[in-house]
Amino acid sequence: MSRRITTTQYQSALPAKQIDTYFDKVIKYIPADIVGAWVAVNGLIKGADITEVSKNIVLWTAFVIGIVITALWTHKQTQEPKKVTAITQIVISTGAFIVWVYASGGPFTTAHLYNPTYGSILLIFYSLIVALINPTEG
């Protein structure tokens, strides 16, 4: 199964690709593999025997690296022959990573930018709303 979201279906002699449903888009927009890696990295950093200042620097650095990896990984996973780059899906998936990190606290707790209630609400609404977006790169 391709991670690329399918929004159009053409007639062909080949087996047709099914158009992705709302729930398919939720799954394809959320970079679960990257979020899982973040949870592991976050736990390792917070449990490390280093100063709080060092933890903050490492957390923020890992977060920025996670953003870059999410964009690159989504680009790779959505590539299909003879199709343009899935920019919409890359942007939404990268945004999903940022929202998941914020919802879990991550480095935002160190800058006093974190509120668990707001993070949870943002995560719920982001996850539900982005699936309503149909990428134009089809």
In a domain, 138, yes or no: no
**Residues 3, 5: Cα–Cα separation, whole Å:** 6
**Residue 91 has what pLDDT?**
97
pLDDT at 13 over 70: no
pTM of the complete model: 0.89
How far apart (Å, rounded) are the C-alpha atoms in residues 73 and 122?
Answer: 23
Mean predicted confidence (pLDDT) in 11-26: 74
Task: Please report whether residue 3 resides in a domain.
Answer: no
Count of structural domains within the chain: 1
Say if 51 falls within a structural domain: yes
82 is a domain residue = yes
Domain interval for residue 49: 22-130
In the block, which residue shows the tokens 């089809």? 138
pLDDT digits (tens, 9 = 90+) for 66-95: 999 999 999 999 998 888 999 999 999 999
Return the DSSP state at 109: G
